Every structure is written in structure tokens, then in C-alpha cells.
């Protein structure tokens, strides 16, 4: 609701009403890809721990690529 928006942040609520507001994406893929690359150079243990922590987001669950890295992570893997 507008009331809750204004209570949370007046500037953001006003920007939203005046159509100059763009919602920030909730997609965390770029951050996870960056951490994927960082963990690779940190150590093998850190890399394995990162993959295990984000397995649900990184590994395909169905289709012809089931069990493989998703495209965003394959790019980082090359």
C-alpha cells in the first residue's frame, strides 16, 4: 500500500508515484557468479563449499542439462 511505502521511505514512495522509480532486481545471480569465481581462486575447499551452498541455484534440475551448471555459471567456469 502507499501508506506502507511512505512509512518505509518517503523519497522512494514519492518516486514510485511520479513514475520515476524503477524496482531493483531481486536476482542475486551476478553476485553468486562473482563469488563462484572468487572461491575458485581462493581454494579448492572454498570453491566446493560455495558450490554446495548454492547448489539449488547453480545446478539444473531438469531437461537435457540436468545435474550440470546453469548457463550463467558455465560462462564463469570458462
pTM, entire model: 0.61
Please tell me the distance from the alpha carbon of residue 63 to that of residue 2, in angstroms, as a whole number: 42
Q: What is the pLDDT of residues 18-28, one digit of tens each?
A: 877 676 666 78
- 3 state SS of 66: coil
Residue pair 59/67 in contact by the 8 Å Cβ criterion = yes
pLDDT average, residue stretch 37-54:
94
- Residues spanned by the domain of 15: 2-77
pLDDT for res 26: 64
pLDDT for res 25: 63
Please tell me the distance from the alpha carbon of residue 16 to that of residue 29, in angstroms, as a whole number: 25
- Top pLDDT among 33 and 28 is at 33
The tally of domains found in the chain comes to 1
pLDDT for res 44: 95
Amino acid at each position: 500500500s502507499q501508506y506502507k511505502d511512505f512509512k518505509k521511505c518517503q523519497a522512494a514512495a514519492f518516486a514510485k508515484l511520479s513514475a520515476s522509480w524503477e524496482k531493483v532486481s531481486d536476482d542475486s545471480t551476478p553476485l553468486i557468479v562473482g563469488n563462484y569465481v572468487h572461491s575458485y581462486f581462493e581454494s579448492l575447499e572454498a570453491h566446493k563449499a560455495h558450490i554446495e551452498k548454492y547448489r539449488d541455484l547453480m545446478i539444473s534440475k531438469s531437461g537435457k542439462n540436468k545435474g550440470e551448471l546453469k548457463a550463467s555459471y558455465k560462462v564463469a567456469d570458462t
